[in-house]
Chain A
């Protein structure tokens, strides 16, 4: 899927906005709203009435600090709020209170990506444009819903350390799970509580210089982020090949067509006239707050990944799936702790592999059902894996049990019993079936006897058919070789 960069290297940085899950807005006491009637969560402050003043939400500061710490940043002993000035109806004060030259946190790292800065700001109100254009220019009318206005935001800016679209997507997933683990946000891209813009440029592979970058906006899912960056890289490479310059511009991703269109320069070329917000005193977190924020951080995905690999010996790809999806990781840990003999590696394999695939299959077009919300309890998957590992059921029979569990829940042991899926433990019975297989296909038996081990397939297949998969493959092979005088 990766774009053919033809001797060029991609340089990608992300700019992420996260809506914090505080009870109230950033600078006033209005509650955050989810799907309420328009303009019910408003007050003189968030409607910018004359004379009103902002006061800083402590919980937002605490979340901001926790995010900064989780990203390995230095927390500024004294950070400053600025006014970012621009006229727009979704911005009632005509300035957004944000942080500028002294942000809350900076100089961190998450995974392979360095964090440039983390700062606090407020969200804009929501505009609904009536009429054809869908934008404010040329619409018949525009309505403003101030419920969202003033929602606390954390902005995270990375260094341009990403080199391809897939890594950008994977890294954003790590960031999302990190913030989710803290509980600071719902981090839902479709709902807009996680928004990601990308700064994209290319340069000749091996060069240290940075090319002209473009800013990509409106990629409101992980898939769109990857597709948007892919499309932009292809466009830039094509321009470079043709010897044409790359313009610095802001591009809007259209999810319907998967294409990028430049925003009219008028819509983003601003002189924001930043200056320090005189209505707020500098933010100087107390040592108590810092200590408390640090102490109450949960185990973070990056730490989980490290632990899963080094302590539990889980392969990186599976460990990532578990560590970056906090709920799946919790599910996995519950299964590990369920008191069965199942190995952690086996559980990781089954949970990230068969279970995830089955659930996806069962959910179909409706979207994914998460393991934690499925009928398969951590206890059940642990019992099943333990049975497979003890060879009480074969892997194939285990998959059948899993399908039943996904469909109707219950206990694996009961399903095995009811469906007669237990491995054939009676070696006399199995010896008989093996003998029948050799008799049924003498050609194959002869080839195997001559040393052509590929020919064993049809013989094993016969046994599996006869036993309905309840025989252990290794044991069947051993018995065939034995009966053919090879063992």
Chain B
């Protein structure tokens, strides 16, 4: 098979062929490793032929049989530099491997590379990477979304069959939407966070970015599970079933008024694709009705208190004492802290550390952090109430298609609004998947770009969610490839 044919295969299909002996895992690995990265999607890449060094030969052991995998650079990988997109971790080589990565490599996956990301997962455009932005393979003047932008772009562009990402307020779903692929944020606690560099501990969750819903199920099946090293992990009871559903009969889909097509800032093209998707749901036998998540409009405000507060503590360990960057010119302890952190962190990270420090400070705690936690509880109650009447909730994943590089960098609030539909889900801790609904022009015209649809489910019902998403995926039949797929040679 040609490189192009190999990288066109979904992970599930590639797995079938490896198992049948039609292709070898090493051949597949080398095909991906040979595709030029013109998007700055990777911060580190394995060489072609490294699959053997990675332990993957033809007929590799385990359920993932040597399938190559891209890993967001937020996961610690023993012996492989890990930066979380930050200057402050430049040169840091972890002495251990994240549980999630260990699980999939134990299952036979082989690491193709570490993908670029917004610094410490703080961003929605990948422009906050200390190592330059990732470009969107659909239009290289546009952003791929973030913070898992490198993973999304790599999967969309044929630089990886699938990838690991992390989602704190939308960091898997939003870039998946902007790059035209599938992105799943599992229930908080489904997958171990051990070894995943923390941004906001009560929200961070690992998840797959894939080209198909089946691939997402395949990867989630290996990732999920209780880990003794992460007290907040519980796994998914009963494991994960591969999806097979062909219709949506008997299922009720709620469209939250606050996050639906008429919410503020939703582009016309996004609305059109979303409404077409709702009709597809009905055609498949699902019921669609409006519902309410009254507190979700406060989601962004609560999120931008809670996440920075946790981040301000999580990022305090980068002090130049034990690893990573240390400013060589510091003359005393305070100077070492100030100069190391001043030079090591980018502007958005500093902004959030300051926001979070302020929100936790004496005299302000209750008005900010305390209030945000109360809002979070209300939002979670809204979701619980909605799931008494509905099996799933559906929203657009992001209000717009991929926007132009630099267009929002000077306006943090506009940037934060990208996550308007994804953040409430993170605060509630429930699972959600983004799948491509179709293509649409941005407001103001231009080439057509992918639009994502978010399907949200009750906690720990990933198997049902994947089943419904699979039926919808088959009905939508999205099969467009970005012009940059496989390095651009069609």
Q: Measuring CB to CB, which residues of chain A are less than 8 angstroms from any residue of chain B? A: 44, 47-56, 83, 85, 87, 89, 92-95, 136-137, 142, 144, 271, 273-275, 278-281
Contacts and interface: CB of A to CB of B under 8 A. Distances in A.
B317 A275 contact: no
16 contacts: A44-B95, A49-B95, A50-B94, A52-B96, A85-B360, A92-B321, A92-B322, A142-B333, A144-B321, A271-B361, A273-B360, A275-B309, A275-B310, A278-B310, A280-B231, A280-B232
A354 B24 CA distance: 87
Given A85-B313, A94-B319, A279-B231, A51 B337 contact: no
Contacts of A271: 361-362
Interface string B71-102: 00011100000101000010010111010000
Contacts of A92: 317, 321-322
B20 interface: no
A51 B316 contact: no
Interface in B139-197: 193-197
Given A47-B322, A51-B196, A51-B198, A89 B231 contact: no
Contacts of A280: 231-232
B196 to A, nearest CB: 5
B231 A56 contact: yes
Nearest to B373: A276
Nearest to B322: A47
A55 B192 CA distance: 13
Contacts of A137: 332-333
Contacts of B82: 50
Nearest to B97: A51
A85 B369 CA distance: 15
Contacts of B228: 55
Contact of A275 (B194, B196, B322, B365): B365
Contacts of A278: 200-202, 232, 310
A142 B323 CA distance: 16
B229 interface: yes
Secondary structure dominating the interface of B: loop
B193 A50 contact: no
Contacts of B84: 50
B300 to A, nearest CB: 20
B283 interface: no
Interface residues of B, number: 44
A278 B229 CA distance: 14
A44 B195 CA distance: 9
A385 to B, nearest CB: 56
B231 A53 contact: yes
Contacts of A142: 333
Contacts of A55: 228-231
A85 B201 CA distance: 15
A441 B357 CA distance: 93
B362 A273 contact: yes
A51 B199 CA distance: 9
Contact of B195 (A52, A83, A95): A52
B197 A50 contact: yes
A279 B197 CA distance: 13
A66 B94 CA distance: 39
Contacts of B74: 51
Contact of A279 (B92, B201, B337, B357): B201
| 5 closest cross-chain pairs (CB), A and B | A94-B316, A278-B202, A278-B201, A273-B360, A51-B195
A48 B76 CA distance: 13
A280 B195 CA distance: 15
B101 to A, nearest CB: 10
B429 to A, nearest CB: 12
B313 A53 contact: no
A70 to B, nearest CB: 27
A51 B332 CA distance: 28
B313 A275 contact: yes
A44, A54, A144: residue with the most chain B Cβ atoms closer than 10 Å: A44
A50, A93, A137, A281: residue with the most chain B Cβ atoms closer than 10 Å: A50
A49 B323 contact: yes
A53 B230 contact: yes
Contacts of A275: 309-310, 313, 360, 365, 369
Contacts of B317: 48, 50, 92-94
A50 B78 CA distance: 12
A50 B76 contact: yes
B380 to A, nearest CB: 15
B274 to A, nearest CB: 33
A44 B316 CA distance: 16
Given A89-B321, A95-B316, A278-B310, A53 B193 contact: yes
Contacts of B333: 89, 136-137, 142
Interface in B218-258: 228-232
